[in-house]
A and B are shown apart, each in its own frame.
Chain A
Amino acid sequence: MRQQTDNGNKLSLVLSEARRFGRFLLSEMKPKGKIVTPFNVFAAAVLSIAAVLLFIRFTQGLGATTNLSQDFPWGIWIGFDVITGVAFAGGAYVITFMVYILRLEKYHPIVRITVLNGFLAYVFYAGALLFDLGRPWNVINPIIGNSFGVSSVMFLVAWHFMLYMIAEFIEFSPAAAEWLGWKRVRKLLGSLTLGAVIFGITLSTLHQSGLGALFLMARNKIHPLWYSEFIPILFFVSSIFAGLSMVILEGTISQRVFRKQITPQHHAAHDDIVIGLARVCAGTMYVYFFLKVLVFIHGQHWNYINTPMGWWFLLEVVGFVLIPVRLFTQAVRFRNLSLIRVAAVLTLVGIVLNRLNVSIIAFKWYAVERYVPSWMELEITLGVVVAEILVLRWIVNRMPILREPPDWALRRPEAIRKTDFVVKEGEEKQWAVTNM
């Protein structure tokens, strides 16, 4: 009898907790700000057009929406969305390396926003790959193991994308647990962070370079100034400063847009963070520039320099690598933040140029009929970017990404003991071990 009452009490407790949780989720689903803003109207328009175009794409084939051809099988959905987008998302592995491996605590305030950005970039930009796949229903084939094409670089990239998304989700998940108030889950997820970070950096090294390795077999199709067996290394090194430049640019924007959520201390520390990042950018860009020169000399392609493709190559390497790296160096020396932002933007343009050159512009440079993306391809790409921004905003407005985590999540053990009444003596010891 007594047992039954206990059970009844427990059940009603669980039910009321579940109801409370349901109400919380429902209230969080509602928009937090004004609904009709210029950006929202723009986003709604872009997304509804993209939805219509995607319907056409999936019912009538890729030819109905894209300008892809037998000569140019890959367009901007690969060249920009995936290959450039993933380079831009490189900030996550660089920042987690700096904070969790090198323990440069200075950069801790930007970890969560960078990891979230990286995670969403993979979900949306790598997710946009599904639009480009001709037969997306077979996308699980290389994963479920009925046909492992292990000699394919694409196989490696596909697996690494998937695993990296999981790793980034784990890195990001403590913020979600704090938002939901799941204290014990939060501790467990926190304990997984270092493993996920190490795994994530390893995967990033391989798939950032792997995106370049995709083009290794296109050796007689890519202009000699861009084709080299070092493409994977160049892609990897450039992803470091591409990612960091994106972090600088994105930080500049969120410092303004999400100003209310950012603590004054973080706001004050932000300049120092940006200058530090600019310094890392400059260092890796010098290395990259040096590698580019080395590859150029090694390739013995002087004869191509004074041709239209050669001028285009010089524009990329001098205009959007050498000039921004000089600007970064100057800006760091004089602590000039606006100059750092200019350099970051130039760097990002340079990355777009480089990735599009390898995948589209210098690809079959000899072809008579060039590939130029259709407005529909551009519209859908814009839709992917807008959708990512909306989800990012939704999360930042709810979870402790830029703002402080709740008190209980900060790591004073006595605070946990006071508030987290479910932790028993024995269990606590266990957690302490996990956290070592």
Chain B
Amino acid sequence: MNRRDFVKTIGGLGVAALAAENARAEDVATPKEFIGILVDTTVCVGCRSCEFACAEAHGFPQPDSDPEVFKKQRSPSTKQWSVVNRFETEKGEVFVKKQCMHCNQPACASACLTKAMLKTEEGPVIWREDKCMGCRFCMLSCPFDVPKFEYESAIPKIQKCNLCWDRLEKGKKPACVEACPVEALKFGTRRELIEMARAQIAKNPDTYMQQIYGEDDAGGTGFLYLASVPFEQLGFRTDLGTVPYPEYSKDYLYAVPVVLTLWPAFLLALSNATKKENDRESYETANGQWK
């Protein structure tokens, strides 16, 4: 090994090190508070006004208004960012709105290699068409299975709730919140919403479960839920833990710069250690091996 080979190797590593830098980008404190929506499932009457308002606000066809849709569980789709499902529970029918949860530290955004999926400083997780290359790693990573991909299109998009990002920019509330006739949806900063939810639980301890779904689940989410029955009965995953999802691949990403700097050094040393005294020729041509 001479100096030139050394410089070549190090130069190459500099480029590769880019891949490892700044793994904790999401942790940087922002001056703004995250906003969110508090869903009180004990208040919701299942009128689906939020669904229709959502479709109108984002230019989707109006969803089927037939109450038959409640007969099966629906998920948000490429044409509907928000759906309401009905659950039969010990306390009667409960309606639950389902959409992107807008995690505090979203798996989808940390999975995205082009930052097409972006956690904005204000809290909404948005998708940007010009960045996305359609790898669908966000779908694989999202613990709530929210992002949906347009498989039937040659120019497919990822579809998911963006918390009415464009309306927020104009100073308006999200369409679903504005449309709710019974104020089952409340819009505000996450801090205010959690205070509100706690006060609500304290005031009516017999009505509510002593839990706010989304306060800590998957590291905390922008959408928060109150309910009168255990959340498992309402189709929520309660096995997600409280660790933010990006944490699960951070240990790996931290190991990357270590390997990138230590491996070449070890390999160079090993290569030199195994070198024979009179072996000063090119490595590629074999000494007598081909002959």
Binding site for B on A (CB under 8 A): 58-64, 66, 68-71, 73-74, 97, 100-103, 105, 108-109, 132-136, 138-139, 141-142, 146-156, 158-160, 163, 167, 174, 187, 189-195, 197-199, 201-203, 205-206, 209-210, 213-221, 229, 232, 263, 404-405, 409-411, 433-436
Contacts and interface: CB of A to CB of B under 8 A. Distances in A.
A98 to B, nearest CB: 11
Given A74-B136, A195-B5, A216-B248, A150 B18 contact: yes
Contacts, number: 247
Interface in B236-291: 237, 239-240, 245-246, 248-249, 251-253, 256, 259-260, 263-264, 267-268, 270-271, 274-276, 279-287, 289-291
A64 B281 CA distance: 56
A150 B12 contact: no
Contacts of B284: 174, 189-190, 193
B26 interface: yes
Given A70-B149, A141-B133, A199-B264, A150 B259 contact: no
Contact of B113 (A70, A155, A404, A433): A155
The 4 closest A-B pairs by CB, nearest first: A134-B134, A63-B151, A135-B134, A155-B113
B145 A154 contact: no
B229 interface: no
A198 B237 CA distance: 45
Interface stretch (B61-69, B104-112, B184-192): B104-112
Nearest to A199: B12
B131 A70 contact: no
Nearest to B21: A150
> Quick one: which of A187, A199, A434 has the most chain B CB within 10 A?
A199
Contacts of B285: 174, 190, 405, 409-411
Given A135-B133, A149-B115, A156-B20, 20 more contacts: A61-B151, A70-B149, A101-B270, A101-B271, A109-B289, A142-B113, A150-B19, A151-B23, A151-B25, A152-B110, A153-B253, A174-B284, A195-B5, A198-B263, A199-B16, A213-B253, A217-B143, A220-B143, A434-B4, A435-B282
A330 to B, nearest CB: 30
Dominant secondary structure at the B interface: loop
B182 interface: no
B29 interface: no
Contact of A410 (B13, B20, B136, B290): B290
B142 to A, nearest CB: 8
Contacts of A435: 280-282
B155 A199 contact: no
A133 B135 contact: yes
B211 interface: no
A136 B134 contact: yes
Nearest to A359: B140
A14 B2 CA distance: 35
A411 to B, nearest CB: 4
B18 A159 contact: yes
Contact of B271 (A100, A190, A436): A100
B289 A74 contact: no
B252 A155 contact: no
A190 B252 contact: no
Given A61-B151, A147-B114, A148-B115, A156 B4 contact: no
